Structure 1
């Protein structure tokens, strides 16, 4: 009887060791950042999250008008090891982890442009509509420590109406490494002259139609910004997220007659159900 009990104990301990090894080998979130959607639960294959977000934001870049907008949230994802392919809203892309310290991301998205009707106060009357179009985005984050507590970030955006670049640093808060918690990014943003004038320039024709002073901007510094992200896992299926964005424009942008405010701001909150 004693021998049988000993064998059972050894077998039980072996099972525990095997399960521990399997758990250690299984992958969790691609990176433990609240701003990065990862619905895979550490497993390869398809995953899907669907939800809604409510945003309170400026009506257009440089506007002093604010409004509430409801947006869909979530994504369809396919994970293979350290690579995730995704379709989220109006963006189709890929992100991958390299050497545990580099998070690379490339996507093609849709730029909605700007319409005169975006201003309820008629501030854009006579300027016409900015054309819609596609944009290509490439982003890289470089972790400065093993658990992604600090990182550097760079982003390049190429559109049919010019190009934009972003550089910054980030900090993650919270004790878990599953993608919950919060993070803060501080960035500096640059744009070329075409991108600057698409948003804040006024041509001679637009000046005659709108009464605004003709304005031609050069490329260079666009703004300084702060971006805060929060994510909370209610359970295995439900997630709550929030984001706040503040962008303070450079003097060149602030001097544009289109910029009725010195900053752009946005705050949003929502939920996602992971299937």
Structure 2
């Protein structure tokens, strides 16, 4: 899996060179970071539509991997330093306050795990895990000009439980139009509700599946590393790529649901920006 993550770099690098020659860098995003998508160009509407393909872990802790094609892009409306957006199953708002601070909040829907997510029958007898509405709160703080370095804090909370993410990142070769490479690292923490949703086995599940009954405490979940890439191939067509490698903590690794000590994914796609 590591080979897949790192071999994508030369391919995207070549496209980066192509895009830097042929793209018209006229767009001015809210912040110049590849991970903060902005299809607007100043005030008004911005729309981007496309597709992405991902190769990723079939579920949390899975040793199986699958390919998945998903829609990409979204609809946005910007006024000054505020962007209201709809992307996938989330709607939200982000704003820049006093330049070095970025705040974001969104309302989304988190789908649960199904027994059929494992083609090898690893989830048989566990039933479906809870799905539910979630609220995301995020704060980023720039540590250098043009967001070259930044700190990031996120809290995801809802019916499924609570997840906290604390990280830092750097933007490499980023341009004012929000293109370039972004590399980050983060640690995550979960409460007992979310921990047991993903990795716990209750009494009934133990009887039905044959797995030992398992209760996961709240606390440290994982350490992750991620890469984001974005570039314009011309004035309207945009290519993006992302990769994630997440290493689980000991409590998660010891769960009978965890067949791997890590979760990984890699994706690439195209978006047409209107």
Does the pair score TM above 0.5?
A: yes
Unaligned residue ranges in structure 2 (runs of 5+): 1-25
**2: CA distance, partners of 1:111 / 1:176:** 33
How do residues 60-79 of structure 1 correspond to structure 2 at under 5 angstroms?
A: 60-79=59-78
Displacement of 1:235: 1.4
**2: CA distance, partners of 1:131 / 1:144:** 38
Displacement of 1:239: 0.3
Displacement of 1:223: 0.2
Q: Paired residue for 1:8?
A: none
Unaligned residue ranges in structure 1 (runs of 5+): 1-25
Displacement of 1:131: 2.3
Q: Deviations over 1:67-95 (max 9, x none)?
A: 00000000100000000000001100001
Contact 2:32–2:174, Cα closer than 8 Å, also in 1: no
Displacement of 1:175: 4.8
**1: CA distance, partners of 2:207 / 2:79:** 56
Q: Label 1:175 to 1:120 Cα distance change in 2 as closer, same or farther (>3 A).
A: closer
Structure 1 stretch displaced more, 214-223 or 27-36: 27-36
Q: Paired residue for 1:151?
A: 150
**2: CA distance, partners of 1:100 / 1:237:** 27
- Equivalent position SS for 2:208: helix
Rg: which structure is higher?
A: 1
Runs of 4+ in structure 1 displaced over 6 angstroms?
A: none
Q: Deviations over 1:211-264 (max 9, x none)?
A: 001000100000000111000111110100000011100000000000000000
**2: CA distance, partners of 1:40 / 1:168:** 27
**2: CA distance, partners of 1:166 / 1:217:** 18
Q: Deviations over 1:13-42 (max 9, x none)?
A: xxxxxxxxxxxxx9821100001111112x
**2: CA distance, partners of 1:202 / 1:93:** 34
- Equivalent position SS for 2:244: strand
Contact 2:131–2:160, Cα closer than 8 Å, also in 1: no
TM-score for both structures, normalised by structure 2: 0.89
Q: Paired residue for 2:201?
A: 202
- Equivalent position SS for 2:205: helix
| Pair 1:265 & 2:270 matched | no
Q: Paired residue for 1:39?
A: 39
How many positions carry a matched residue from both structures? Answer: 249
Q: Paired residue for 2:223?
A: 224
| Pair 1:124 & 2:123 matched | yes
- Equivalent position SS for 1:31: coil
